[in-house]
Chains A and B, each alone.
Chain A
Amino acid sequence: MSVIEADKTVCEGIGMCETQADTYFQIGDDGLVEVLVDEVPESDRGYVRAAVDSCPVSALRLQG
């Protein structure tokens, strides 16, 4: 099990994360990232990793 961490002070609302893994990320009404589910089972790790990596301002981390 891995855990998603998002830093809203860094997020630019670009939405790459939502485009790639919309069960985990959404742009909220404030225009910034909201993590919908923060625990990621092994089976989803690959594509959540790709979404985390795709953030151009490194606002996301996948721990563990």
Chain B
Amino acid sequence: MSSFQNRHLLVVGAGLAGLRAVEGARGAGWSGPITIVGDEPHPPYDRPPLSKAALSSEEEPGVPVLRSSEVLEELRVQHLSGVMAHGLDTERRTVTTSAGDLGYDALVIATGSTARTLPGLTALPSVHVLRRYDDALAVRVSLARARHVVVVGAGFIGSEIASAARARGIEVTVVEASGRPLERAVGPLGAARLMQLHADAGVRLLTRTTVSGVRTSDRGVEKVELSTGETLAADAVVLGIGARPATAWLAGSGVALDDRTGGVLCDRRLATGAPGVWAAGDVACVDGERSEHWTAAGEQGRVAGANAAGAGDVFASVPFAWSTWHGRRIQVVGETTAAEEEEREDGFILYRRDGSEVGAVGIDSPGPIARLRRALAGRR
């Protein structure tokens, strides 16, 4: 191993978790060189705006970078953009990439996730997923000339895409495979309240329905065939059917993956089973759970970077996520599954387990959400 000052920290994945890992390591006193590798051509940027402002703004949005170039310079981090990691050898402490082998003393895995697609629907014109900046630009182009859009999946991202399309006056049909969308995430009452927002905004929601085929012409999508036998005239299809952890490059590395979620197994200190290897963000499965939310990805990144630099931090923040549908602020805090639900005040749904308050969903209720979040944080 190299001398202490020259120890090399390698971060694979140049998104939010990767960037926060760099900041966490510097904050904890890592003085050696740091390299962050990412397969995208852009500096580390933020994803939440991609399904919100980036789809609704008049002008084409720039890349929503997370830090200015001055801040990145102060962090003394070398960013290798457009470089893909292909393999990991934890014994030789080497990552194989499209730009050659990179050695490390400490490694943070922060490759996030990859949007799921449907078989037969990739590479069709005006059929999109939405994960990257370049995807957002393509969705914008389709929305700009669409009169009817089919969104597949009524989760958070699908719902945001539906909102952006409605705001442009486009007719929207959301096609959802499950009988009760979002119920697993926020329970029956919370899910019903959220789906009502779509109905109020004029979105047509078809549950227990899947896409069985898409008919295209050289102009793009023409018709979408549904499992119910119905055929919709549509000019674009956007898939919001989830994302799987980007772990292909870890095959055979000995870094263990969770059977159920496919995420990189790690403990609350973000340590994996391999020596000198941490994981953070959407790719990580911490104590059996993948968070897939912005606040968790950032905080896990910070903790992983700090611990790679020798700190003993623990990831313990209260789950928190936000979304915007049809101009309404939606916030989800704490635990909102397997609990008793009650709409405490208009737009504030409280979740209780064994009598104690464990979480809430807010629709335009930032005040009560902030108070509960503070109370839950105080109990940790």
**Does A pair with B?**
yes
**Residues of chain A whose beta carbon lies under 8 Å from any beta carbon of chain B:** 12-16, 27-32, 49-50, 53-54, 56-58
- Quick one: which of B41-99 are within 8 Å of A by CB? 46, 48-49, 64, 66-68, 71
Do A29 and B367 touch (CB < 8 A)?
Answer: yes
Interface presence of B315 (CB below 8 A): no
Do B68 and A53 touch (CB < 8 A)?
Answer: yes
Interface presence of B114 (CB below 8 A): no
- Smallest beta-carbon distance A10→chain B, Å: 9
Assembled-state Cα–Cα distance A53/B373 (Å): 22
What's the dominant secondary structure at chain B's contact region? helix
Do B370 and A27 touch (CB < 8 A)?
Answer: yes
Interface presence of B365 (CB below 8 A): yes
Do B366 and A30 touch (CB < 8 A)?
Answer: yes
Interface presence of B353 (CB below 8 A): no
Q: A-facing mask of B332-357, CB < 8 A → 1, else 0?
A: 00000000000000000000000000
- Smallest beta-carbon distance B235→chain A, Å: 30
What's the dominant secondary structure at chain A's contact region? loop
- Smallest beta-carbon distance A7→chain B, Å: 13
Assembled-state Cα–Cα distance A17/B269 (Å): 23
Do B71 and A50 touch (CB < 8 A)?
Answer: yes
Closest 8 CB pairs of A and B: A31-B366, A31-B370, A31-B367, A13-B366, A12-B322, A30-B367, A27-B370, A13-B370
- Smallest beta-carbon distance B183→chain A, Å: 24
Interface presence of B329 (CB below 8 A): yes
Do A14 and B367 touch (CB < 8 A)?
Answer: no
Do B68 and A14 touch (CB < 8 A)?
Answer: no
Whether A53 touches B66, Cβ cut-off 8 Å, given contacts A12-B322, A12-B331, A16-B298, is yes
Chain A residue numbers with a CB within 8 Å of B371 are 29, 31
Q: List 15 A-B contacts (CB under 8 A).
A: A13-B322, A13-B331, A13-B369, A14-B295, A14-B322, A15-B370, A16-B298, A27-B370, A27-B374, A29-B371, A30-B367, A50-B71, A53-B71, A54-B298, A57-B49
Do B48 and A57 touch (CB < 8 A)?
Answer: yes
Do B71 and A56 touch (CB < 8 A)?
Answer: no
Do B369 and A31 touch (CB < 8 A)?
Answer: yes
A12-B322, A57-B48 are known contacts; what are 4 more A-B pairs with Cβ within 8 Å?
A14-B294, A15-B373, A29-B370, A30-B367
